[in-house]
Amino acid sequence: MKDFDPLTHLTRGPAVFDAYPPIREKTDQARDKFKEYREFCCALVLRNLGNPYVVLENPDVMLGAMYGDSGFRFPVNKQTGIGNADGMQRTFLGRGKMIRPNWSKPQNTIISAVITLTIIRPDYQRLVEMIRANPHKEIDDCEAELRTALPTYDATVTLPRVLVWHNAVARVRFPANLFCGAHDSHFGILGVDHDVTFRGAKLPSSLER
């Protein structure tokens, strides 16, 4: 079997960076602060104030920071050196902060969840969706169509959004019914597949997660 992490093993280009360390550093700090509150539900709340190298809304990054670098595993013929793409599976690799692959005991059970505070521009997102679906249509025409379909359309409106990343090995579970707004999302973990346990009713369709 061969492992591959697309987030930290990028080969070339100016955008090469490791997205995990900032989140893992905050996780370590929170675990130390919460040590005396083991019997309570504790959550680490994160917000990006503009750093382009901090990624707090991507499931591969957030869950990868918690459970191990997000990647893929696929079988390789040892004689030919050829990999079998049909056997590729998602997996978590090393460096996880809650539990690490092949470990029998969790590493961090104090933090019940990691919470991302962010914003969303729902009407702007819908405009982007329409432009992508109709690449030959003028942007003004797309906006006009949306204004007809949505009388309250305003691409400049921003709304708060909460993403809850549940810790599957937490001593105290984070409440599943907390932060369930129309634009919020909750993520659990089922095996190594990202499990969306709640999706706000008004999230644009392009935001599958």
pLDDT at 208: 56
Q: Quick one: pLDDT at residue 13? A: 45
13-44 residue pLDDT tens: 455 778 889 999 999 999 999 999 989 999 99
| Percent of the chain's residues with pLDDT above 70 | 79
Per-residue pLDDT, 73? 67
Per-residue pLDDT tens digits for 67-88:
887 776 667 777 777 767 777 6
Asked if 206 contacts 125 with a C-beta cutoff of 8 angstroms, the reply is yes
Supply φ then ψ for residue 66, to 5 degrees. Answer: -80, -45
For the chain, the DSSP string reads: -EEE-TTT---SSTT---SSHHHHHHHHHHHHHTGGGTTS-EEEEEE-SS-TT---S-HHHHHHHHHS-EEEEE-B-TTT--B-GGG-EEEE-S--SS--TT-SS-S--SEEEEEEEEEE-HHHHHHHHHHHH-TTS-HHHHHHHHHHH-TT--TT--EEEEEEEE-TT-SSPPPTTSS--TT-EEEEEETTEEEEEEE-TTS-TT---
pLDDT value of residue 105: 72
Is the model more confident about 191 or about 66?
66
Provide the pLDDT for residue 88: 67
Question: Given strand 70-74, what is the order of strands in its sheet?
Answer: 2-4, 70-74, 89-92
Identify the helix (H) or strand (E) that includes residue 113.
strand 111-120
- Residue 173 reports pLDDT greater than 70: yes
Question: Could you give the percent of the chain with pLDDT greater than 90?
Answer: 40
* Mean pLDDT, residues 95-107: 67
The whole-angstrom separation of Cα 21 and Cα 53 is 10
Do 41 and 112 meet the contact criterion of CB atoms below 8 Å apart? yes
Task: State the distance between the two ends of the chain, measured CA to CA, in whole angstroms.
Answer: 29
pLDDT (mean) for 162-174? 92
Residue pair 127/138 in contact (Cβ under 8 Å)? The answer is no
Residue 168 pLDDT > 50: yes
Of 48-52, 187-191, 195-199, the range with the lowest mean pLDDT is: 187-191
CA 145 to chain centre: 32
Higher-confidence residue of 6 and 160: namely 160
Give the model's pLDDT for residue 4.
43
Return mean pLDDT, the chain. Answer: 82
- Please tell me the predicted confidence (pLDDT) of residue 6: 45
Burial of 54 (0-12, 13-18, 19+ CB in 10 A): middle
123/153 Cα distance (integer angstroms): 6
**Higher per-residue pLDDT: 178 or 70:** 178
